[in-house]
Amino acid sequence: MKEDIEIIDEIDEIEEVVTLSEKEKEKAPKKKTSKKKEPQLADIVGVGPGAIAKLSDAGVYDLMGLATLTPSQLQVLTGISEAKGRKAIQQAIDMLEMGFITGIEAEKKEEELYHISLGSKNLDNLLGGKGIRSRTITEVYGSWGSSKTQIAMMLSVMAQLPEDKGGANGMTVYIDTEGSFTPSRLKQFASKLGIDEEKVLENVLVARAFNSSHQMLLMNKITEMIKDGKNIRLIVIDSLMTHFRSEYAGRGKLADRQQVLNRYIHDIQKVADTNNIAVFITNQVMSDPAQMFGDPTKAVGGNILGHASNTRIYLRKGAKDSRIAKLVDSPYLPDNATAFMVEADGFKDIEV
């Protein structure tokens, strides 16, 4: 019996020592785990505070923004010589490890992409079953009344839904060049989807672009908003060519227009790529006089816009107020066509 009591006392002493040891560990200062510091613009040799401030004013806030500039663009923005600019850009590329990757790594990167439903199963199926995807410019062109803006506004609502309901759980930036943005229409779509109408309007950031220069400057503003923490998942430009078409009229200004347009499209794609954002643009049409047979309708913007848009859809009016959507070009989808109708609270799928 006495031996049992002694054993119990020894166990109590051991437990007390363990408890004291644990308390001492809790009181002891914890070692900070060293985290690898993310490289910044300030880490680039040859890019000082003045140059960083000028880059920030131009909407370039990080290494990716610097890495995607050309030496001549960097010179215009900061005054750095092309030779030094080339070295600075190469440093940014090296820090970001923007070299070659394997097909397996590319496949993993593709898993980061998300999709936004167009509010119509037919239209979604036309685009592979899920709608438009991020890091991609989706262009819809058609004549007046072909429902381009209707799709743009429906997407603005759908982008706010959770991913399991066809959305991206984020905000929309809507650049309006024609004055066609209608808040009441968004509320109609929201009502059908059963979501708060006022919340939908709050999550759509609208800007009216009054000329092509203003339109291009708004892309810098988008980058600034992303930096400030805005969860932007969709950019809508309705319509992209309105101002370019009117301000650069005539064959004499065509080359200038295409040059400016090319730079603008590359800015859009850069914002989409670096921030993993879906871009949806609407476009106007013209009649091709050289087209002898078939539909002479073609999108304006020429080859510059044609090559820049990852996916192109041609919209036209069909029988009995229907709309025909034809997939004209896509690197990952076959040509196809579908039909739908625009109703008071959304879209109705119909057979072709």
Does residue 161 belong to any structural domain of this protein? yes
Q: How many domains does the chain have?
A: 2
For 293-348, the pLDDT digits (tens) are 777 788 888 888 888 889 999 999 998 889 999 999 998 899 999 999 999 889 99
For 23-60, the pLDDT digits (tens) are 454 555 544 444 456 788 888 888 888 888 888 877 78
Same domain, 70 and 158: no
CATH code of the domain covering residue 57? 1.10.150.20
Packing angle between helix 183-193 and helix 148-158, nearest 10 degrees?
50
Residue (of 73, 62, 134, 130) closest to 96 by Cα position: 62
Same domain, 48 and 148: no
Same domain, 217 and 266: yes
pLDDT > 60? residue 11: no
Coarse DSSP helix, strand, coil percentages of the chain, rounded to the nearest 5 percent: 50, 20, 35
Does residue 123 belong to any structural domain of this protein? yes
- Give the per-residue pLDDT at 233: 97
Establish how many alpha carbons lie within 13 A of residue 310's alpha carbon, considering only the half-sphere containing its beta carbon. Answer: 18
Same domain, 75 and 180: no
Q: How far is CA 226 from CA 54, 168, 288, in A?
A: 18, 15, 40
Same domain, 179 and 60: no
Does residue 346 belong to any structural domain of this protein? yes
Does residue 27 belong to any structural domain of this protein? no
Does residue 17 belong to any structural domain of this protein? no
Same domain, 117 and 53: no
* Cα–Cα distance measured from residue 226 to residue 220, given in angstroms and rounded to the nearest whole number: 10
For 163-213, the pLDDT digits (tens) are 999 999 999 999 999 999 999 999 999 998 999 999 999 999 999 999 999
Same domain, 281 and 254: yes
Does residue 35 belong to any structural domain of this protein? no
Same domain, 136 and 237: yes
CATH code of the domain covering residue 129? 3.40.50.300
What domain range includes position 72? 41-99
For 48-97, the pLDDT digits (tens) are 888 888 888 777 878 878 888 888 888 888 888 988 889 888 888 888 77
Same domain, 329 and 271: yes
Same domain, 159 and 54: no
Same domain, 54 and 181: no
Q: How far is CA 113 from CA 138, 232, 259, in A?
A: 14, 14, 30
- Give the per-residue pLDDT at 104: 86
Does residue 29 belong to any structural domain of this protein? no
Same domain, 55 and 161: no
Alpha helix (H) ranges present in the chain? Answer: 2-27, 49-57, 63-67, 71-78, 82-96, 103-110, 121-126, 148-158, 183-193, 197-202, 212-227, 242-247, 254-275, 302-308
For 253-280, the pLDDT digits (tens) are 888 888 899 889 988 998 999 899 999 9
3-state secondary structure of 99: coil
* Cα–Cα distance measured from residue 156 to residue 280, given in angstroms and rounded to the nearest whole number: 10
For 214-259, the pLDDT digits (tens) are 999 998 899 889 989 999 999 999 989 999 988 988 778 888 888 8
Residue (of 8, 35, 15, 345) closest to 190 by Cα position: 345
Does residue 25 belong to any structural domain of this protein? no
- Last residue of some domain: 99, 127, 144? 99
- Give the per-residue pLDDT at 61: 78
Residue with tokens 């119909």: 350
* Cα–Cα distance measured from residue 203 to residue 232, given in angstroms and rounded to the nearest whole number: 9
